[in-house]
Amino acid sequence: MTRLLVRDLEQLATPSDAPAPVRGRALRDVELIEGAFVLAREGVIEAVGSMHDLPSLPGDVEEIDGRGLSAIPGLVDCHTHPAFAGDRVHEFALRAAGATYEELLAAGGGILSTMRATRAVGADGLTEIVARHRDAMLAHGTTTFEGKSGYGLDRETELTQLQAVRAAGGVPTWLGAHAVPPEHRDADAYLDWAIEHVLPDAARIAVAADVFVERGTFDVEQARRYLGACRKAGLALRIHGDQLSEIGAVPLAVELQARSIDHLEATGRGGVAQLAASDVAAVLLPVAALYLGRPMPPARALVDAGGAIALATDFNPGSAFCSSLPVVCTLACTQLRLTPEEALAACTVNAAYVLGLGDRGRLAAGKRADVVLLDTPDWRHLAYHLAGDVVHTVVRDGRIAYSRA
């Protein structure tokens, strides 16, 4: 059967083989090979190395000329909300004129306005929408994406969202506790209903559950109850926490040994210390902070204290309408004070860890053959070129899935 060989690469960069999640100082350990090749067979990397060590290859080999290019692992976007209909450009303009994200949500807009559009679109529409966003992510180098529900908030639409993410090849997360839909009296009544009527089927499709812990949405007590039920149903636990205010999401994540806590724009010193000493991954979403004009999350402090971080886009129509992990890497290096090496590990091997996927995120024999070829001899242009068109070719599962030419 045919092999795929990427040859004569100017440079290959991959996070080293420290156990995932990579933490603290080890996040800087990126292996570099100048004059490199990657060889794949049946969707799996067979060998990575210097051109001097390229073995002779009998049989059919499809070759990609890597001259002028550099290679990094396929990017992993571990936090997105791609299953939505409509847009929120009207609210974007209102916010530009001074309205706040919280005011819009409290007035029945925000997440709830996307909920109304998403409920109306139907299964075929949602499937098509998620596939379209998947392809846009792919063109930015994303070979694995997570996708959350949370814009249905009724049984049928939540399950349809999860199925649409699965159908597009994504990793579904049930964000059953994103907002309280208007047909329920309050957050407690909604959670009782969702746990009884949606969770059993959601747990058959999703791999994780997520909750938006925030003033005006779900408090810590409600989140504990929801996540406890989700864990019993076999789901990994994730939390949207400390986005706008610090109301106890970090202690809850540590108590429940959640897989990740995501956002952290409002996290103070105590939260940083607690998180860095735990096994909970901190997923940083600098586009959301930029988009809402919020402080950036304390990435440098988390890494310096020995924490495990990941980076993601948070792609959604309200707080982060951006599907580019290269843009996230630029923000990581300019706003979060991370190095390009730390940013690379955070959106490859550590993001894969957040999704429970140990088979990807590094360029090494035995890993899934997901490779991004950058149109530059130095891979750090990934972050250096702000919104630049740096992605030349994307190999996913051993096949060319995107080519700019």
Min dist. Cβ of residue 60 to Fe ion (A): 44
254 backbone dihedrals φ, ψ, rounded to 5°: -70, -45
Angstrom distance (rounded) from CA 113 to CA 97: 19
Best CA proximity match to 291, nearest among 118, 89, 136, 83: 89
Cα 95 to Cα 166: distance, rounded to the nearest angstrom: 33
Tell me the DSSP string of 220-267.
Answer: HHHHHHHHHHHHHTT-EEEEEESSS--SSHHHHHHHTT-SEEEE-TT-
Q: Is 158 helix (H, G, I), strand (E, B) or coil?
A: helix
- Contact partner at residue 317 from ligand NIG, Fe ion, none, CB < 5 to 8 Å by partner kind: ligand NIG
Q: Which is nearer to Fe ion, 178 or 380 (CB)?
A: 178
- Count of other CB atoms within 10 angstroms of residue 200: 10
Segment interacting with ligand NIG (CB under 6 A) among 44-52, 315-323, 327-335, 356-364? 315-323
- In the list 288, 329, 332, 374, the residue contacting ligand NIG (rule: CB under 6 A) is 288
Cβ 334 to Fe ion shortest distance, Å: 22
Interaction between residue 95 and ligand NIG (CB under 6 A): no
- Kindly state whether residue 173 participates in binding ligand NIG, applying the rule CB under 6 A: no
| Of the candidate residues 95, 134, 240, 259, the single one contacting ligand NIG (CB under 6 A) | 240
Tell me which stretch binds ligand NIG (CB under 6 A): 106-114, 120-128, 231-239, 325-333.
106-114
Query: Interacting stretch for ligand NIG, rule CB under 6 A, among 48-56, 185-193, 310-318, 351-359?
Result: 310-318
Asked if 127 and 172 touch (Cβ cutoff 8 Å), the reply is no
Phi and psi torsions of 103, nearest 5°: -60, -45
237 and 259 Cβ atoms separated by less than 8 Å: yes
- Comparison of 241 and 398: residue with beta carbon closer to ligand NIG: 241
User: What are the Cα distances from residue 204, in Å, to 128, 174, 193?
Assistant: 22, 10, 18
Q: Residue 110 interacts with ligand NIG (CB under 6 A)?
A: yes
| 3-state class (DSSP) for residue 88 | coil
Residue with nearest beta carbon to ligand NIG: 318
Q: Which of 317, 291, 258 has the alpha carbon at shortest distance from 80?
A: 317
Minimum CB distance to ligand NIG, residue 57 (Å)? 46
Minimum distance from CB of 210 to Fe ion (Å)? 8
- Cα separation, 195 vs 190, in Å, equals 9
Smallest gap, in angstroms, from Cβ of residue 111 to ligand NIG?
5
In the window 14-43, what residues touch ligand NIG (CB under 6 A)?
A: none
Q: Decide which of Fe ion, ligand NIG, none touches 319; Cβ closer than 5 to 8 Å per partner kind.
A: ligand NIG
Residues that bind Fe ion (CB under 5 A): 314
CB of 33 to Fe ion, least distance (A): 35
Residues that bind ligand NIG (CB under 6 A): 81, 110-111, 114, 212, 240, 243, 288, 314, 316-319
